Amino acid sequence: MIAFAEAFPLALVRPEAALTGGLLAILASDLSPGANARRLGPVLGIVSCAVAMWLACAAPVGNVGTMLAIDGVTTLARLLILPLTAFLLLGGMGERRHGNDTGAWSASVVAVGLGALIAAAAANFVALWLGLELVALAGYTLVAFRGGDRRSAEAGMKFVLFGGAVSAVMLFGISHVYGATGHLDFVGIGAAFASGAPVLAGFALLLAGAGIAYKLTLAPFHFFAPDVYQGSPAIAVATVSTLPKIAAAAALVRILMTAVPPSLLAPVTLGGAIAVLAAVSMLLASFTALVQRDAKRIVAFSGIGHGAAVVLAIGCLPSREAAAAAGFYLLTYVGSNAGALLCLSVLERARGSTSLADLAGSWRSQPWVSSLLCLFLLSLAGVPPLAGFLGKWGVLQQALAAGMAPGGSSAMVVAVLLFLLATAVSAWSYLLVVRAVVFAEPAAANERTQRREPVALATRVVLGVSTVATFGFGLWLDGLVALARML
C-alpha cells in the first residue's frame, strides 16, 4: 500500500477522485427502484463538485508520473471547471424538472466535467486523449438527449461524425509523434525536439493538436458547431461550449510551454502563426454570424470567435500574463455564455424554437428573462462595464505588448486590429437578437401558441449568479494580475 501511494500520489488527484465518486453515486442512484432516489442525480453531482472544489483549493502541486501535472494552470482550470459544472447541473435541475431521466443527464454533465479536469491536467498525450474522449462521449449524449426530436438526432449524429474524425486525426498525429521522438509525455517530446528530432515530427505534433482545435472550435474544425448548437437543447449547448474550451486551453498552454522548445520554433514565430490562425477564425465567425437567423446559431459562431480570442492570448506565451489573460477571458466568457443559453432555453421552451422570428417580442411576455439575455449578449460583445469588456481588454493588452516589443511579430499587431474589427462585427450579430427580443413585433400565431410556464427556482438561481458574475468580473480590475500570481 505504501509503495502504491509513493508511485501514485493520491493527494494530487483528490478533486478528480471526488468527482469520480459523484459520478458513480449518480449512476448507482439511477439504478435504484425508488423514483425519489433517481431524482437525486443533480444533487449528488453538485455535492461532489463542492467537495472537489474544496479539495482543489488545498491540493498540492506535483506530477503524477509523466501522465498528469498539477500546477498553476491545472489549479486555475479546476477553479473554473468545478463551479461551472455545479451551476450547469443546477440549471439542468430547473430546465429538465419534468424529465424522468435526470440521472442520465446529470451523469453526462459530471462526466464532461471529469474529462475536462483530466485533459486540463494532462502532461502526456495518452492522458490528454482519454480526457478529451470522455468529454466527447458524454457530450454526444447531451447533444442528442432530446428523444424523438429529429433536429436533436441530426445534431448528435453530426457531433459524433465530426468528433470521431478529429479523434482519428489526433491519434494519427500522436502515433507519428511517438515514432519520431520515442515519447508521449510533453516534457520528453520537448527534449527530443531540442536534441534534433526530425522536422516532420513537428507536423505530426500539429496533427496531434487537432483535438484541441476542435474543442476550441477553431477554423477549420468549426463546421459542426452551428448545426449542433441549433439542434441541441440549449442547456446541453451551455455544457459542450464551455467546459471543453477550458480544458483545451489549459492543455494548449502546457503543450506550447513544454513540448515546443525555442530551438524548434522561436516564440515570436510561433506566436505569429497562432495569431494568424486566431484572426482567420475570428473573422470567419463574426461575418458568418451576421447572416444567421437563429439565436443559437449566432451563439455558435460567437463561440468560434471567443475560442479564437483565447488562442490569441495563448499565442503571447511564454509570459505568465498571457496565460492569465487566456484564463481571465474564459472566466468572463463562460458565465455570460452559460447565462445567455439558459435564457434561450427558457424562451425556447415557451416559444418552440430560438429562431429570431419566434423570439420576436419576447420582452413583452417574459421581460426579466429577455432583459437578462440582452445583458449577457452585451457582455459577450464586450460592452463596458460588463465582464466581457475586461476579458477582451486583457487579450488586447497582451497581444499588443507581444507585437510591439522589440523583435515582436507584425502578425500579432495585425491580429489585434482584426480582433477589434471582428469584435465590432460580432456585436452587430448580437444586436440582431436584441432587436428581435425587444423591438420586433411578435406574430399573432406565435402569441397564441406560446406556452405559459413559470421559471423554475433553480434556473432563477443560476441566472442570478450569472448576472452577479457578469457585473462582478467586469469590475474586478486587478483580476488579470491576481490570476497571473496564481500561475
Instruction: Give me the average pLDDT of each 10-residue run along the chain (487 residues).
Output: 56 92 90 70 92 91 91 94 94 72 86 96 94 93 78 84 90 91 91 79 84 87 83 87 94 93 83 91 92 90 92 91 94 93 88 85 87 94 92 93 84 92 93 90 59 79 94 90 85
pLDDT at 8 (0 to 100): 62
Q: What is the pLDDT of residue 358?
A: 87
* 452 C-beta neighbours (distance < 10 Å), count: 7
Write down the pLDDT at residue 101. 67
CA of residue 297 relative to chain centroid, distance? 16
From the list 280, 309, 244, the residue with the least C-alpha distance to 113 is 244
Q: Cβ(469)–Cβ(387) under 8 Å?
A: yes
Q: Which of 257, 150, 170 is nearest to 215 (CA)?
A: 170
Residue 446 included in any domain: yes
Burial of 58 from C-beta contacts in 10 A (0-12 / 13-18 / 19+): exposed
Which residues lie below 8 Å from residue 4, measured CB to CB, with a gap of 6+? none
- Judge contact between 15 and 55, C-beta under 8 A: yes
Q: Are 14 and 8 in contact (CB under 8 A)?
A: no
Instruction: Report yes or no on 243 lying in a domain.
Output: no
CA atoms of 455 and 446, how far apart (whole Å): 19
Task: State the pLDDT at residue 58.
Answer: 86
d(CA 7, CA 111): 26
C-alpha to C-alpha distance for 424 and 317, rounded to whole angstroms? 26
Q: What is the pLDDT of residue 6?
A: 53
Does residue 54 lie in a domain region? Answer: no
The DSSP string of 370-389 is HHHHHHHHHHHHT-TTSHHH
Residue 254 in domain: no
Tell whether 425 is covered by a domain: yes
pTM score above 0.85 = yes
| DSSP assignment letter at 443 | P
Amino acid at 224: F
Domain limits at 367? 267-487
- The whole-number pLDDT of residue 4 equals 44
Q: What is the pLDDT of residue 50?
A: 95
Output the CA–CA distances (angstroms, integers) from residue 149 to 156, 277, 292, 330, 452, in the order listed. 11, 36, 22, 32, 22
**Cα–Cα distance for residue pair 427/371, rounded to 1 Å:** 17
Distance (Å, whole) CA 28 – CA 103: 9
Instruction: For residue 161, tell me if it sits in a domain.
Output: no
Number of separate domains in the chain: 1
The reply to whether 55 falls in a domain is no
Is the preceding peptide bond at 33 cis, omega within 30 degrees of 0? no
472 lies in a domain?
yes
